[in-house]
Structure 1
C-alpha cells in the first residue's frame, strides 16, 4: 500500500493566512470601555500624587499598573471605541448641530445658512482640536474648517503628537485659530492647576474678539474683522465637553464657578447641553485678554461622601 499523501493546505485569502498578531483589535464592550477609562484616570491621578510626594517606589508601582492595563494606547483605544456612532459618541456632532450643520453635514436652515459662501465654500475658519483621536469626526467631515489636530499620543497620520501645554505660543495671527475644541480633554489633565492653565492658554491661540482667520492664512496679519453676523456670533470660541459628574457632582466645581472662570477670561456662554453622561458648552470670546485675572482656588462648594474631587484652578494674575 502506498503512503498516504496529504492534500496541500489552501489559503482562502491573505487575511486568513496572517498570524494572530496581525488581526485588528476586537471591539471593546461599553462596560469594558467605561471601566478601562475610569481605571486609567484613577491610576494616573495616583501616579501624579506620588510624583508630588517624590515617592519613587509608589510612582514606579503605579506606572506598572497603568502598563498592565495597556498604557495610554489602550486608554485611547477605549476612548476611540466610545466615539463610534453606534455608541452615541463623537461629541463634535453637537457642535456642528449648534452651527447649523445636520448629521449628514448638510447646511440646515439656521444659523449659518446666510454665511454659506464664506463659511462652507472657501472654509477659511481654522479649528485646533486638542486630544484628537480621529480624523473622521463630524467637524473634519463637514469641510467647514481647516483642521489642525494634536494629541499626547497620536493615533495616526493627520494628528500631530503634541502637548497643548507645551505648544509654542503663536508668533503671528496666521498661527491662531477661530475655535479650539477641548472635548473630554480637561478631565484627563491630572493637575487641577494645569486645567486652568489650559483655559488660559486658549487666549493665546484664539483670534481677538470680532476677528477671524483671513483667507489663505499665509501672511503675518492673517486675521480680518468678522463681517457676517453668524460668524461674529459663534467665533472665536472654545468648544468644551466634560463628563457630567465633573460639574454636577464635584466638591470643587459647579456650572456657576465654571461660568465665573470663563467670564473672567473674556468668554460668554452661547450654547450648552447636558446628556446622561456628558455636558457640552460653547464659550465665545467677547472681550480681549484681561490685564487682571482673579484667582480661582480649589474650594469646597458641595459636601458629602459621594462627591468627586474634580476641580479647575486658575492661579490668576
Structure 2
C-alpha cells in the first residue's frame, strides 16, 4: 500500500501523458475558486506595481504568485473547472449553437472552418472532437502537445487570408487579463484575425453567424460588477464591430457569440464608469480608449 501512495503524489500537468494509475482526488470546488480568484487578484496588483515602477512590490507579488504554483497551478485549477461535475467544457455550448449550420455547411462543401482557440487547455474539447474545425490552439503556458505557447497580444497580425480565421474562441481568458484597458485591447485585436464578413455572403448556412467570436466569462463579471453589465458589454462590442447572435447565462458562467459585421467600427470611448454601486460587487471592468 505504501508503494501505491508514493505513486499517487501529485505532479505538474506539464509532466506528460496522463498516468495509468488513478489520479489523486481533485481539489474541491471552493478551493479551486479561491485559488483562481487569488491568482487574479495578485496579477492585478502586480500590473499596478509595474505601472507605478515599483520593482520591490513587483518582486514581492511575483514571489507570492510563485508560492501558489504560478501559472501552471492556475491552469490546473482551470482544468479542474472544466470537469463535467463543475460545469464541463464550455465549447459544448458553442457546438449546441452552431451544430445545425456547421452540419449543413459540411454537407454542402465538406470544408473545415478555421478556428483560433486562445487560452487552450486541452485538445480534446467538444470543438476538437466535432470534426468541423481546423483548430490552431495557443496559450501562455502550453500544457500539452498541439497547443502553441504564445501570447495572443504578441501574435503577429495576419498577412493575408491564409492567416485569418472563421472563429476565435476566448473562453475564460479575458478575465485573466490584469487591467481593464488590456481587456479592451484584446477584444479589439480579435477583429483583426477574423475573415471579412463578405466572405460568407454566398454561404447561406454560415452567413448568419460567421465570422465570429465565442466569449466566455465568469458570470459575476457581468451580473455583479460595479463597472460592467450586459448593456455596457454590448455597447463595447458594437463599437468595435460585433453584433451579439447568441447568449446564455448560468450561475457560474456567461456565454456569448458575437458576429463581426461588415460596417466599420464606431470610434467610441468607454472609460471605467460605475454602473451599480454596492460593497458586495466586484471590480471587473473593460476600458476602450
TM-score, normalised on structure 1? 0.82
Q: Deviations over 1:128-179 (max 9, x none)?
A: 0000000000011111100001111111111111111111000001100000
Partner of 1:267: 242
3-state SS of paired residue (1:229): coil
Partner of 1:154: 142
Task: Note closer, same or farther for the CA distance 1:118–1:192 as it changes in structure 2 (3 Å cut).
Answer: farther
One of 202, 215, 235 as aligned partner of 1:240: 215
Q: Hey, what's the Cα distance between the residues in 1 that align with 2:132 and 2:229?
A: 33
Give the CA deviation at 1:114. 3.0
- RMSD across aligned positions (CA): 2.2
Partner of 1:314: 288
Q: Hey, what's the Cα distance between the residues in 1 that align with 2:259 and 2:250?
A: 21
Q: Deviations over 1:94-117 (max 9, x none)?
A: 0000012xxxxxxxxx44443332
Q: Deviations over 1:244-286 (max 9, x none)?
A: 1111111111111111111111211100000001000000112
Higher helix share: 2
Give the CA deviation at 1:17. 8.9
3-state SS of paired residue (1:234): coil
Give the CA deviation at 1:288. 3.9
Kindly indicate whether the alpha-carbon contact (under 8 Å) linking 1:209 and 1:288 is maintained by their aligned counterparts in 2. Answer: no
3-state SS of paired residue (1:230): coil
Partner of 2:107: 117
3-state SS of paired residue (2:138): strand
Partner of 1:135: 123
Kindly indicate whether the alpha-carbon contact (under 8 Å) linking 1:37 and 1:79 is maintained by their aligned counterparts in 2. Answer: yes
One of 173, 179, 186 as aligned partner of 2:174: 186
Partner of 2:37: 38
Give the CA deviation at 1:18. 6.0
Q: Hey, what's the Cα distance between the residues in 2 that align with 1:239 and 1:260?
A: 17
Partner of 1:94: 93
Give the CA deviation at 1:47. 1.3
Q: Which runs of 5+ in 1 are unaligned?
A: 1-11, 101-109, 212-224
How many corresponding residue pairs?
Answer: 278
Kindly indicate whether the alpha-carbon contact (under 8 Å) linking 2:117 and 2:136 is maintained by their aligned counterparts in 1. Answer: yes
Q: Deviations over 1:183-223 (max 9, x none)?
A: 01110000111111111111110011132xxxxxxxxxxxx
Task: Note closer, same or farther for the CA distance 1:200–1:19 as it changes in structure 2 (3 Å cut).
Answer: closer
Kindly indicate whether the alpha-carbon contact (under 8 Å) linking 2:164 and 2:195 is maintained by their aligned counterparts in 1. Answer: yes
One of 204, 229, 238 as aligned partner of 1:254: 229
Kindly indicate whether the alpha-carbon contact (under 8 Å) linking 2:244 and 2:259 is maintained by their aligned counterparts in 1. Answer: yes
Kindly indicate whether the alpha-carbon contact (under 8 Å) linking 1:266 and 1:289 is maintained by their aligned counterparts in 2. Answer: yes
Q: Hey, what's the Cα distance between the residues in 2 that align with 1:177 and 1:273?
A: 24
Q: Hey, what's the Cα distance between the residues in 1 that align with 2:115 and 2:74?
A: 25
Q: Which runs of 5+ in 2 are unaligned?
A: none
Q: Hey, what's the Cα distance between the residues in 2 that align with 1:112 and 1:282?
A: 15
Max Rg structure = 1
Partner of 1:4: none
Q: Hey, what's the Cα distance between the residues in 2 that align with 1:162 and 1:248?
A: 31
3-state SS of paired residue (1:257): helix
3-state SS of paired residue (1:128): strand
Give the CA deviation at 1:21. 7.3
Kindly indicate whether the alpha-carbon contact (under 8 Å) linking 2:101 and 2:206 is maintained by their aligned counterparts in 1. Answer: no
Partner of 1:104: none
Q: Hey, what's the Cα distance between the residues in 2 that align with 1:253 and 1:18?
A: 46
